[in-house]
Amino acid sequence: MRIVLLGAPGCGKGTQAKLMAGKYRVPQISSGELLRQAVSEKTELGKRVESIMASGELVSDDIVTDAVTERLRSNESKRGFVLDGFPRTIPQAQQLDTRLGWMNRPLQLALYFSLDPAVVVKRTLGRLECAKCGASYNRYFSPPAKRGICEHCGSKELVQRPDDRQHAVRARLDAYEQDTAPLITYFRAQHKLRTVEGEGDIQDIFKRICEIVDTEIRPLETKVIAIETGRESRSDALTLISGGKVVRKDTGADNDKAVGQVKRRLVAGDSQKPAGKKATKKKVVKKKAVQKKVAKKKVVKKKAARKKAAKKKVVKKKS
Ligand code: AMP
């Protein structure tokens, strides 16, 4: 599953990306998180982007594209990914398409979260994060039960991100309108854009997303019996797929390849048995035929020998 989430800051992409990552077992790759981590670890990258981020402006395309690509190439992204906050400009989207093209793993969907701009502002300005465990709250929509105290870890450090302050929020919304909103047209032109109503209960929104994902990306998998153990060999998976029951082994690219191979074989009208098994069966039949032939020859030889012996006896008796 290879998806990007689009939408204004505060539209709920991050929250939904986490839920999607949990359900579909793919990593959530958040460009904002990657950069914030670099800032908090004081890496070279962090030092370069810290002040830009605090102002609410966008980091340069090259820097962020390289950081995200590194994650896309990692092992954990083999099964797919949910990209959150990237791409944010047309050049980033073009770079993403190019790099995924090199990896032969094109993007499948762009989910756009539509939301009333007034709600967007309130969501961003009201956002609070626990400095200890990362749990998120919103002053207006989802405050913690006890004011100023994290419900998850009890910490009293509920903080506002520097770029969620008034002046930075304005800059981020401007950057969104100017640089990111054109991506809606970009992905629509590729027929990859799907719109999700971003207002309402978190679980309701998640349900809408899953409906889209399950019908658009995983049509094959609606017939799927997921094998959770992952112990079956690949040829077993092929047998089951070609035998009518479609089995998805969650092995990412390998699985896509396997499903593709079986589909091609079925389209070509090949026998539904995997090549390996077919060859083995042929060998067994051949072996049996040879054994039969040898046994027959032995019987004929024995009979001839017995006949000869009987004839000799008769000659001896007569003489
Ligand atoms: P976010 O958490 O996605 O709102 O991102 C926080 C900040 O990180 C943004 O305001 C930008 O300064 C920077 N940032 C994150 N993603 C990108 C991106 N794709 N392109 C440029 N800057 C980004």
What are the tens digits of pLDDT across the range 238-270? 333 333 333 343 344 444 454 445 344 433 333
**For helices 253-267 and 234-242, what crossing angle results, to 10°?**
40
In the chain, at which residue ranges do the beta strands (DSSP E only) sit? Answer: 2-6, 28-30, 81-84, 109-114, 127-130, 136-138, 158-159, 193-197
Q: Which residues line ligand 1 (CB under 6 A)?
A: 9, 31-32, 35, 52-53, 56-59, 64, 85-86, 88, 92, 163, 172
Task: Inform me whether the pLDDT recorded for 279 exceeds 60.
Answer: yes
State how far the Cα of 171 lies from the Cα of 181, in Å rounded to an integer.
14
Asked whether 66 and 34 are in contact (CB, 8 A), the reply is no
Give distance in angstroms: CA of 90 to centre of ligand 1. 14
Give pLDDT, residue 235: 38
Task: Inform me whether the pLDDT recorded for 272 exceeds 90.
Answer: no
State how far the Cα of 149 lies from the Cα of 13, in Å rounded to an integer.
24
Mutate to test the pocket of ligand 1, among 34, 51, 59, 96 (most ligand atoms within 8 A of CB): 59
Beta bridge partners of 4: 83, 110
Give distance in angstroms: CA of 307 to centre of ligand 1. 98
The burial of 140, by beta-carbon neighbours within 10 Å (0-12 exposed, 13-18 middle, 19 or more buried), is given as exposed
Strand-pair category, 158-159 with 109-114? unpaired
Nearest C-alpha to atom 12 of ligand 1 is from which residue?
A: 53
Known active-site residue 88 = yes
Known active-site residue 161 = yes
Task: Inform me whether the pLDDT recorded for 233 exceeds 80.
Answer: no
Known active-site residue 127 = yes
List the Cα angle 135/86/189 in 5-degree steps. Answer: 135
State how far the Cα of 128 lies from the Cα of 11, in Å rounded to an integer.
15
Asked whether 130 and 153 are in contact (CB, 8 A), the reply is yes
Q: CB atoms < 10 A from the CB of 230, how many?
A: 10
> Which atom of ligand 1 is nearest the CA belonging to 68?
19
State how far the Cα of 235 lies from the Cα of 222, in Å rounded to an integer.
21
Q: Which residues contact 163 (CB under 8 A, 6 or more apart)?
A: 53, 54, 55, 56, 169, 172
- Element holding 221 (H helix, E strand): none
Q: Which two three-digit tokens encode residue 94?
A: 């073009």
Nearest C-alpha to atom 15 of ligand 1 is from which residue?
A: 32
State how far the Cα of 197 lies from the Cα of 202, in Å rounded to an integer.
11
pLDDT bucket at 33, cuts 50 / 70 / 90: very high
Give distance in angstroms: CA of 79 to centre of ligand 1. 25
Give distance in angstroms: CA of 24 to centre of ligand 1. 24
Give pLDDT, residue 277: 56
What are the tens digits of pLDDT across the range 281-306? 777 788 888 888 888 888 888 888 88
Helix, strand or coil for residue 190? coil
Nearest C-alpha to atom 14 of ligand 1 is from which residue?
A: 32
Give pLDDT, residue 273: 40
Give pLDDT, residue 319: 62
Task: Inform me whether the pLDDT recorded for 56 exceeds 90.
Answer: no
Give distance in angstroms: CA of 149 to centre of ligand 1. 27
pLDDT > 70: what percent of the chain?
A: 79
Of 86, 79, 108, 78, the closest CA to residue 214 belongs to 108
